[in-house]
Amino acid sequence: MYKILTYNNISVAGLERLARDRYEVASEIQHPDAILLRSFDLHGVAIPDSVRCIGRAGVGVNNIPVEECSRRGIPVFNAPGGNANAVKELVIAGMLLAARHICEAWDFARSLSGDDETVSRAVEQGKKRFAGTELAGKTLGVLGLGAVGVRVANAAVSLGMNVIGFDPALTVDRAWELSASVSRAAGIDDSIARSDFISLHLPLNGETRHMIGAARLEAAKKGAVLLNFSRAGIVDEPSVCAALDEGRLSAYVSDFPTSGLMGRKGVLLLPHLGASTAEAEDNCAAMVADQIRDFLENGNIRNSVNYPTVEMPRGEGHRIGVANENVPNRVSQISAALGEANLNILELVNKSRGEYAYTLIDLNAEVPPTVMDRIRKIPGVLSVHSISNHPSSATAAFQD
């Protein structure tokens, strides 16, 4: 039995991929083989030694100590694109909420009382306070053209907006998906200076933390709207508040409430709802459950944020998976240890990614625990697992 420790509610569509006869899935469990979570903050949590991989049923992994996992030979999986459509739809809603003052107007309409005539009079007198602007013809600057950013950009084009975008690492696939009407901004400053709406779609990391600060916001068009469906930490909150106070920004639409933003004029807050649709929750949970399963049962790595993609079809051999530092001679030392134990390598795949590498080896016989220990002790080897000899159909299920 494999044991999966869950944090957060994981969609049934994902849990169903982990068959009850082979998987025990629970929010409290001893010696888990894997952790399956959404936004739960894993920083500061002692990850048990038994954990072989971590699956994030979503995209952002800033809630996971990825560096520590890498050093311990633990692949971290996520679900690229699995919730992108859900986020895109809420971003479009966010632009409309701000442009048409929908939240304030909704509050006003809900506050009305009296008979039909009284209400009707109040409506006609009050509505001028909520007159807005249209999206068509306005410029949207999209920062980060990944799964979400590209969809937001394309949807905005279809609403008649002029769209500019910036992504220093735009992939060829994303470039193909992007509408030809989206033009390229020279950089972040250029995007901000030219936009009526600025939408952030990049990961929170050391480079992007507080990326949107005072200097950049000073260059914004007067009355611009800033939308943040990425992470709170990408903006410098005091600078955003100052820009709102000065009227430099007319609204800040954020999926990440903080005490400093609550109740502040011009701030529209949603409770981290971007990925909270039935479809996105199902997609992400199913993708990540399949990836965890394929790793535990076959040693394959797909959609990992810290280890290379490694997939090897299952044959007759006895399989081991080794995570190691990406330095010379690791594979030769591993194969020497196997050879000295008279084990014959049938297939071997070794891939590296940055500082880390991963090797899958099929052998003619089971690797005895003493040899596994010997491999484990090779300097630079981070984790070694013997992979059960009952290949799963996880890959096939995923491709469906």
Ligand X SMILES: O=C(O)C(=O)COP(=O)(O)O
DSSP codes joined into one string, 324-339: EES-TTHHHHHHHHHH
- 129 secondary structure, DSSP code: G
Quick one: which of 71, 272, 302, 318 contacts ligand NAI (CB under 6 A)? 272
Q: Which residue is nearest to ligand NAI (CB)?
A: 146
Q: Which of residues 216-245 bind ligand X (CB under 6 A)?
A: none
Place of tokens 């919730």: 83
Stretch of 57-65, 185-193, 322-330, 333-341 lying at the interface with ligand X (CB under 6 A):
57-65
Q: How far is the CB of 311 from ligand X (least distance, A)?
A: 24
State the binding partner of 38 from ligand X, ligand NAI, none, CB within 5 to 8 A by kind. ligand X
Nearer to ligand X among residue 60 and residue 299 (C-beta) = 60
Q: Which of residues 59-78 bind ligand NAI (CB under 6 A)?
A: 59-60
Whether 318 and 342 have beta carbons less than 8 Å apart is answered as no
Q: How far is the CB of 130 from ligand X (least distance, A)?
A: 30
Return d(Cα 70, Cα 73) in angstroms, integer.
5
Whether 43 and 54 have beta carbons less than 8 Å apart is answered as no
Stretch of 115-123, 204-212, 243-251, 340-348 lying at the interface with ligand NAI (CB under 6 A):
204-212
Return d(Cα 398, Cα 400) in angstroms, integer.
5
Nearer to ligand NAI among residue 210 and residue 351 (C-beta) = 210
Through-space distance between the first and last CA atoms of the chain, rounded to whole angstroms: 25
The answer to whether 168 contacts ligand NAI (rule: CB under 6 A) is yes
x-or-dash pattern for ligand NAI, window 29-58, by CB under 6 A? -----------------------------x
The answer to whether 145 contacts ligand NAI (rule: CB under 6 A) is yes
The answer to whether 38 contacts ligand X (rule: CB under 6 A) is yes
Whether 302 and 314 have beta carbons less than 8 Å apart is answered as no
Whether 237 and 261 have beta carbons less than 8 Å apart is answered as yes
Quick one: which of 84, 163, 241, 275 contacts ligand X (CB under 6 A)? 275
| Burial of 377 from C-beta contacts in 10 A (0-12 / 13-18 / 19+) | exposed
Amino acid identity, position 106: W
Place of tokens 């596994």: 372
State the binding partner of 149 from ligand X, ligand NAI, none, CB within 5 to 8 A by kind. ligand NAI
The answer to whether 143 contacts ligand NAI (rule: CB under 6 A) is yes
The answer to whether 84 contacts ligand X (rule: CB under 6 A) is no
Place of tokens 């997609």: 283
